[in-house]
Amino acid sequence: MRDPAPARTLLDILDTTVGAHPDAAALDAAGTVHTYRTLSERVRALGDRLARLGVGRGDRVGVRVPSGTADLYVAVLGVLGAGAAYVPVDVDDPDERAETGPCSWATSFRRTAPPSTPACCRKLLRERLPQALVPVLGVVSDLPARTSGKVDRKALPWPLPTLADDGDGEDGEPPSDGTAAWLSERWRAVLGVTPKTGSDFFALGGTSLTAASLVSLLRERYPKASVADVYHFPVLRRLAERLDESGSRTSSARKYVPRLAAPRSSSSS
């Protein structure tokens, strides 16, 4: 009698298939084909994310994803990869009912319509991440790739060809003259986006490191500028007013101090 075959999980089967046919089509959802390799990468990324959040054995994670989508397969396999069990949640259920379902893990995996603008994305990220970890977002027509297929980061546009927007809709317009316009160019150099008069340095992704970089640029014209100024006056127009009030602007013209030529020593005959 043959020994029974060892038990295999869905993830074991996925790994075996990825090893044998990595570029074969695994899913065709809404006209987009996902290979076994890309499916596995998404599943592993979600499983790792859930594990970092503390999800593990004995937990039940609600999966509220429309059926027939690639995201549903990724969600189910990702939850299993974290060691937890998944609980299907009807996408048409009200939020209150879905959040009080039989899930031991409070944060259910839910797929909704993706944010349509960078401002919406930033708002979502700011609700879930510490300010210092919110990245700078920009929209590009396509992603430059290397021959290996990986994104060529050095070929990405920088600074970004977009206006800054922290999502409150009250930033005004980009400054066109004066200290604010000069300061705007320095912000753009370190943040990668063109700020508006009411933009907040830290709301646009500024950190202690970028603040220090900004101050280095400011001191070319305002030698008394400090990191404390950036923290106390994070809004562009306020910082511009602060620099004007400091009265420490250096002259752009160079000053030349005449030097007397040293007397030539007379040679003895």
The tens digit of pLDDT for each residue in 152-172 reads 888 877 766 655 555 444 467
| Section 31-51 average pLDDT | 87
For residues 247 and 44, which has the higher predicted lDDT (pLDDT)? 44
Confidence of residue 214 (pLDDT cuts 50, 70, 90): very high
pTM of this prediction? Answer: 0.42
Asked which of 73, 92, 110 is the last residue of a domain, the reply is 110
Q: What CA–CA distance (Å, rounded) separates 169 from 84?
A: 41
SS3 state of residue 191: helix
SS3 state of residue 60: strand
Mean residue pLDDT of the chain comes to 77
The Cβ of residue 160 has, within 10 Å, a number of other Cβ atoms equal to 19
The residue type found at 172 is G
Asked which of 110, 144, 166 is the last residue of a domain, the reply is 110
**pLDDT for position 259:** 53
Q: What CA–CA distance (Å, rounded) separates 186 from 159?
A: 11
CATH of the domain at 90: 3.40.50.980
User: Could you check whether the bond before residue 4 is cis, i.e. omega within 30 degrees of 0?
Assistant: no
**pLDDT for position 96:** 58
Which spans in the chain are helix H?
Answer: 10-20, 36-52, 70-81, 95-99, 118-128, 178-191, 208-218, 227-232, 236-246
Please tell me whether residues 80 and 203 are part of one structural domain.
Answer: no
Please tell me whether residues 245 and 159 are part of one structural domain.
Answer: yes
How much is the CA Rg of the chain, to the nearest whole Å?
A: 28
Query: Is the pLDDT assigned to residue 240 strictly greater than 90?
Result: yes
**pLDDT for position 219:** 92
- What tens digit of pLDDT does each residue of 93-139 get? 666 555 555 554 444 444 445 556 777 777 777 777 776 677 777 77
Instruction: Supply the range of the domain harboring residue 142.
Output: 115-249
Is 196 within a domain? yes
Query: Is the pLDDT assigned to residue 217 strictly greater than 90?
Result: yes
Query: Are residues 118 and 138 in contact, defined by beta-carbon separation less than 8 angstroms?
Result: yes
Q: What CA–CA distance (Å, rounded) separates 174 from 163?
A: 8
181 φ, ψ to 5°? Answer: -65, -40
| Section 207-234 average pLDDT | 91
